[in-house]
């Protein structure tokens, strides 16, 4: 029988990514693109039934850190487990290019602290077959993956590349330094970087507690980065402002507006709600609305769950992680650590000690106990107050630390605790809904490829669809078409990827077929599959029947097919308009 198409998807309910109402249609794919949407009489080499399923564009995740992972492996998991077909990396001003050989250790130390990637993993995994950013992109051009990947040039490596140790020590740049930073950014954008990124967050530190190179940079240096975008005539600016740490939102938004004015390019920034500065988020949204009403191209990147970390014996943090008696056994396999912790004398010492570490952020994470939540199965990201460790411990007549200790031992060291440090304010995700519903917000901040032992938030597309549009009982839900638009076309357009995120003829054939009614997120699990035997969390989901990238089926029922159609996506010129 003659065939007309490579793939025909039949009988699904299409949610096309535009925000329009769902409709019934077949979809024909040929040569990596969607060619027909409607009633199709022709045949495909492969026919896929989508009866009883929703059919969406592949998801676009614009905030990841796969800069290293893409150089040593071909599956960009966990993101690719959750319907994501394109990722954008290089966020938050951290990454691996540009980099001179003598600066490699500096960048590794920053990535270890800021993004929780073990030093040995990067030392063993990153090939360093580049120095300049264009050379990094050329190296990525040779890589194949299960999904597409694009890169931004990060401020930290630019600063260190130009200033060396002075840059790592956060010394002020000279006029010549600034000019060279501008040149490097413009060069990277012309070579295909989708943007430039930086961070003003004081939480971004090395494992030893030293501030990351970018966080104290003055405005003139940020303007030098923006000038690189201006000179290249393309690209976007991504920034973590200081509004979550007490900096005045009025001043931070004004600064971002000046970056946009100079660059002539769009900007997005991270936004969350914190208990310490509860008024910062609403004020920032108000200022954002004023800016966009005046035609300023600015967006807030927000996250659909609590922003925080997970703690456990197999992970980077837990309440006993930095106690002196624990440090003596931390090198042991988890089963041997559990056996040692069952010794009454060891238990007594651990319970009596306090965490000791030179990095205050690490001490803070290890000092939280009453405010933790056992994550559970299925994982609950909007738990009730009575589920908090402090409340459950009180019911049992235990201290929070005793409760945690007992649960870790009872689970043979596999228990995971959730610490939602932001967004989950007053035991509700209502602040998240406020941010997500803002017309100038983007749903992002999953951080795939980083925080291997702290966070597994790249599963957020599944949470958005399963929880926010279907299962939430504690407040209003999000319309399904809005959620799909947020995961697809809205994110794609925000970074200039105009060829994807929409089911329409001529668009790139990145598609998900989803069993929406049975879409389920599972708890994270720890696997040791990184270079040098490093561990990371992986989070599985049920309900993704088929994922297609560039017209090639990459996952069936959540199982990889082995196909690797994903490639580097370069930007440039009017494509980022």
Which tokens hold the place of 59?
Answer: 């998801």
pLDDT at position 439? 97
Spell out the domain ranges in the chain.
59-306+425-492, 310-422
Which tokens hold the place of 503?
Answer: 């089911």
pLDDT at 227 over 70: yes
- The distance of Cα 12 from the centroid of its chain, to the nearest Å, equals 30
Kindly report the average pLDDT of the chain as a whole number: 95
Report the CATH architecture of 59-306+425-492: Alpha-Beta Barrel (3.20)
Residue given tokens 């931070």 in the structure block: 252
Strand duo 552-556 + 544-549: pairing:
antiparallel
How far is residue 280's CA from residue 124's CA, in Å, rounded to a whole number? 41
Query: Each residue of 338-377: pLDDT tens digit?
Result: 999 999 999 999 999 999 888 888 888 888 899 999 998 8
Query: Each residue of 311-320: pLDDT tens digit?
Result: 999 998 999 9
Percent of the chain with pLDDT over 90: 88
pLDDT at 292 over 50: yes
Is pLDDT larger for residue 376 or for residue 34? 34
The mean pLDDT value for 138-152 works out to 98
The mean pLDDT value for 544-569 works out to 98
How far is residue 207's CA from residue 360's CA, in Å, rounded to a whole number? 10
How far is residue 505's CA from residue 519's CA, in Å, rounded to a whole number? 28
How far is residue 218's CA from residue 26's CA, in Å, rounded to a whole number? 54
- Is residue 503 within 8 Å of residue 89, measured between CB atoms? no
Q: Both ends of the chain: CA-CA distance in Å? A: 44
Residue given tokens 């997120």 in the structure block: 521
How far is residue 485's CA from residue 492's CA, in Å, rounded to a whole number? 10
Contacts of 228 (CB under 8 A, 6+ apart): 181, 182, 183, 184, 185, 186, 188, 189, 196, 235
Q: Which of 35, 362, 426 is nearest to 26 (CA)?
A: 35
Neighbours of 295 (CB within 10 A): 6
Instruction: Average the pLDDT over each of 12-16, 383-387, 546-550 and give the range with the smallest value.
Output: 383-387
Confidence label for 572 from pLDDT (cuts 50, 70 and 90)? low
How far is residue 178's CA from residue 269's CA, in Å, rounded to a whole number? 23
Instruction: Average the pLDDT over each of 263-277, 345-359, 442-456, 562-576 and give the range with the smallest value.
Output: 562-576
3-class SS of residue 197: strand
Q: 251 vs 206, 213, 222, 241, 490, CA distance in Å? A: 27, 21, 14, 10, 27
The mean pLDDT value for 461-472 works out to 98
Q: For residue 328, report the phi and psi dihedrals to the nearest 5 degrees.
A: -75, -20
| Max CA distance (Å), the chain | 76
Query: Helix %, strand %, coil % for the chain, to 5?
Result: 35, 20, 40
Residue given tokens 């009872």 in the structure block: 410
pLDDT at 244 over 80: yes
Q: What is the DSSP letter of 464?
A: I
Query: Each residue of 508-546: pLDDT tens digit?
Result: 999 999 999 999 999 999 999 999 999 999 999 999 999
Q: Which of 240, 131, 261, 257 is nearest to 187 (CA)?
A: 131
């Amino acid at each position: 029988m003659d065939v007309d198409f490579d793939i025909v998807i039949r009988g699904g309910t299409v949610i096309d990514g535009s925000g329009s109402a769902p409709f019934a249609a077949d979809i024909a794919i040929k040569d990596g693109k969607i060619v027909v949407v409607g009633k199709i009489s022709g045949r495909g080499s492969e026919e896929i039934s989508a009866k009883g399923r929703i059919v969406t564009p592949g998801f676009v995740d614009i905030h990841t850190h796969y800069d290293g992972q893409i150089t040593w492996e071909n599956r960009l998991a966990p993101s690719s487990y959750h319907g994501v077909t394109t990722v954008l990396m290089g966020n938050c001003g951290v990454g691996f290019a540009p980099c001179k050989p003598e600066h490699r250790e500096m960048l590794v130390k920053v990535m270890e602290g800021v993004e929780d990637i073990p030093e040995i993993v990067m030392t063993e995994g990153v090939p360093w077959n580049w120095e300049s950013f264009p050379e990094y992109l050329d190296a990525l051009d040779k890589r194949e993956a299960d999904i597409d990947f694009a890169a931004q040039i990060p401020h930290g490596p630019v600063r260190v590349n130009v200033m060396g140790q002075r840059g790592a020590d956060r010394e002020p740049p000279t006029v010549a330094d600034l000019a060279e930073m501008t040149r490097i950014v413009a060069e990277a954008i012309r070579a295909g970087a989708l943007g430039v990124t930086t961070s003003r967050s004081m939480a971004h530190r090395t494992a030893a507690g030293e501030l990351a190179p970018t966080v104290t940079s003055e405005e003139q240096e940020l303007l030098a980065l923006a000038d690189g975008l201006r000179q290249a005539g393309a690209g976007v600016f991504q920034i973590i402002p200081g509004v979550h740490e007490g900096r005045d939102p009025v001043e931070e938004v004004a600064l971002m507006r000046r970056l946009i004015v100079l660059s002539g390019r769009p900007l997005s920034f991270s936004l969350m709600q914190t208990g310490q500065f509860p008024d910062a988020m609403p004020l920032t949204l108000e200022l954002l609305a004023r800016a966009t009403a005046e035609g300023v191209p600015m967006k807030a990147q927000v996250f659909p769950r609590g922003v925080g970390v997970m703690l456990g014996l197999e992970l980077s943090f837990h309440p006993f992680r930095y106690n002196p008696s624990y440090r003596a056994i931390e090198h042991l396999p988890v089963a041997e650590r559990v056996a040692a912790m069952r010794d009454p004398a060891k238990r007594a010492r651990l319970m009596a000690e306090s965490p000791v570490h030179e990095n205050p952020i690490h001490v803070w994470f290890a000092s939280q106990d009453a405010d933790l939540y056992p994550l559970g199965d299925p994982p609950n990201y909007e738990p009730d107050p009575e589920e908090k460790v402090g409340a459950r411990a009180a019911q049992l007549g235990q201290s929070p630390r005793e409760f945690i200790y007992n649960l870790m031992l009872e689970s043979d060291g596999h228990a995971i605790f959730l610490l939602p440090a932001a967004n989950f304010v007053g035991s509700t995700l209502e602040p998240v809904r406020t941010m997500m519903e803002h017309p100038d917000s983007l749903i992002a901040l999953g951080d795939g490829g980083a925080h291997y032992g702290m966070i597994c938030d790249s599963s957020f597309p599944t949470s958005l669809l399963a929880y926010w549009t279907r299962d939430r009982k504690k407040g209003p839900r999000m319309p399904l078409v809005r959620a799909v638009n947020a995961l697809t076309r809205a994110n794609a357009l925000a970074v200039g990827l105009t060829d994807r995120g929409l089911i329409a003829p001529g668009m790139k054939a990145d598609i998900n077929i989803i069993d929406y009614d049975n879409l389920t997120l599972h708890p994270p699990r720890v696997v040791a599959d990184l270079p040098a035997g490093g561990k990371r969390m992986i989070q599985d989901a049920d309900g993704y029947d088929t994922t297609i990238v560039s017209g090639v089926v990459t996952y069936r029922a959540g199982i990889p097919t082995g196909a690797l159609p994903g490639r580097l996506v370069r930007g440039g010129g009017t494509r980022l308009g």
